Structures are given as C-alpha cells and as structure tokens.
Amino acid sequence: MKPLLPFSFFQLHPKALLLQWKQEPSDHLLNEILTVKSELSSNLKEIHGITQGYQSLLILLKKPLVSSKKLQKKITTIYAGINRFESPQSKHWTLPVCYDSAFGNDLHTLSKQLEIDSTTLIEFHSGSLYRVQFIGFLPGFLYLNGLPKALNAERKSIPSPKVQAGAVAIGGAQTGIYPIESPGGWHIIGNTPVNLFNPEAKSPCFAQSGDHVTFEPISQKEYTQIKKAVAKGTYSLKYD
C-alpha cells in the first residue's frame, strides 16, 4: 500500500500551490507525477495550469485561495484514489546529431576532463536511451535522464554567453538540447539540425514528459542535407 502523502504542500502565492515529492528522481517517480498531474487536471476545476519539475508539481489556480487546507484535502483524496501509477502513452524519438568538432565546441575538453577519448564519449552518448523528465529553462528545452555515469560532468564554472540553437549538451547527470540561441553553462558536444520548438504549431514542442529519445550520429554532409529539408518543410522526425 502506497504512503498516503509522499509529497509536501507549500503555498507559494495566493494562486500557486507546490507539491514537492520526497523521493529522488526516477522512472517510477516520473510515472507517479505524470499520473497525479493528469488526475488533478481532470478533477480540479480550480486549476488554471500545472507546471512539472523533477520532483514537483506547481499548481496554478484561477482564483486566489482563501485557505489552502480545503484544496489540500481535495488533492489528498484524489491521490488516495489512484490505484496504480502507469507509464503514460509515449513516443520514442530518434534525433540526428552531428558530433563533429565544428559543432561540439566542448567535446575535446570534456573528453580530457572525463579521461575518455572523443570517440568513446560519442558512442556512450549516442548509445543510450533517454527519457524526457520535463520541459523547461527555455521553451522546448528537454531535460533528459539516462546519461551514462561515465559522462556525468559538472556544469561549466563560466557559462558560455552564446550557445547555438540545436546544441546538444551535458550538464551534471543530464543531457539536453538548446532549442534556441541562449547563454548556457552545459558542455556542448554536438548539434541537431532539427527545429525543436515551433510556437506556431498546435504542439510547439515535438516531445512531452515521459517520451524517450535516442541520438543518431550523422556526418556534416548529412547535417547540411537535413538542415535544408527542415527549411523546406520536407523533413519529419523519426519516432515509433
């Protein structure tokens, strides 16, 4: 039998309530958070929106709370009524990535830091299956779990003022992709020619929490070809 409340409540604002889980991030915890998010969205008319983190749900409300106790009781009842936390329907995306030094600005430096050669680093990175934990920091920025421990690396002590859109990077125990040009403190090891965020699309970000991602190494020539196809609107990401 699951514990009644594995999370704590924090009222951050009259219109914002935070649910903070006590467990470490994992696939099981992600399934639980996604299930709770879905149930709350379906059963609480007070909700304006929900923002997800590794171990949290930030509930944004339509109206200010007079008292959070009543809402907390509703959430507790909904949680207690959940029979199981199942993995949501998801897709497995294959993202092309060029790991050439022309794009991987930090590839060789990171290789030396990790004491492995660049080829091995690329093999480890592209040979792993990642799961989208949540989307944040920038619109369409995917936080991906599943990075091999051999590639774990602390963020840069001095962030880069300008990171190219599509940059594939490592930060801590995570890997991620910069959807737009931005400052950033992660180690850049490659670039994808695919557009990761389209604000005009019905679903601006191609992936969602719970999806899986695999990186497929490509050459500079293939990168250029895909980039042209993306610009023409004739390229589609592979998924199953």
Q: Which residues pair with 60 in a beta bridge?
A: 16, 49
> In angstroms, rounded to a whole number, what is the distance separating the alpha carbons of residues 51 and 64?
17
Q: Give the other-Cβ count within 10 Å of 73's Cβ.
A: 10
Q: For the whole model, what pTM was predicted?
A: 0.87
Q: Which residues pair with 238 in a beta bridge?
A: 94
What single-letter amino acid sits at 1?
M
pLDDT tens string for the chain (240 positions)?
444 689 999 999 999 999 999 998 899 999 999 999 999 999 999 999 999 999 999 999 999 988 889 999 999 999 999 988 877 789 999 999 999 999 999 999 999 999 999 999 999 999 999 999 999 888 889 999 999 999 999 999 899 999 999 999 999 999 999 999 999 999 999 999 999 988 888 888 999 999 999 999 999 999 999 999 999 999 999 898
What is the CA 126 to chain-centroid distance, rounded? 17
Domains of the chain, earliest start first: 7-80 (3.30.1360.40), 92-239 (2.40.100.10)
Q: Residue 231 in 3-state DSSP?
A: helix
Return the structure tokens found at 120. Answer: 């091995």
Each residue's pLDDT tens digit, 114-148: 999 999 999 999 999 999 999 988 888 999 999 99
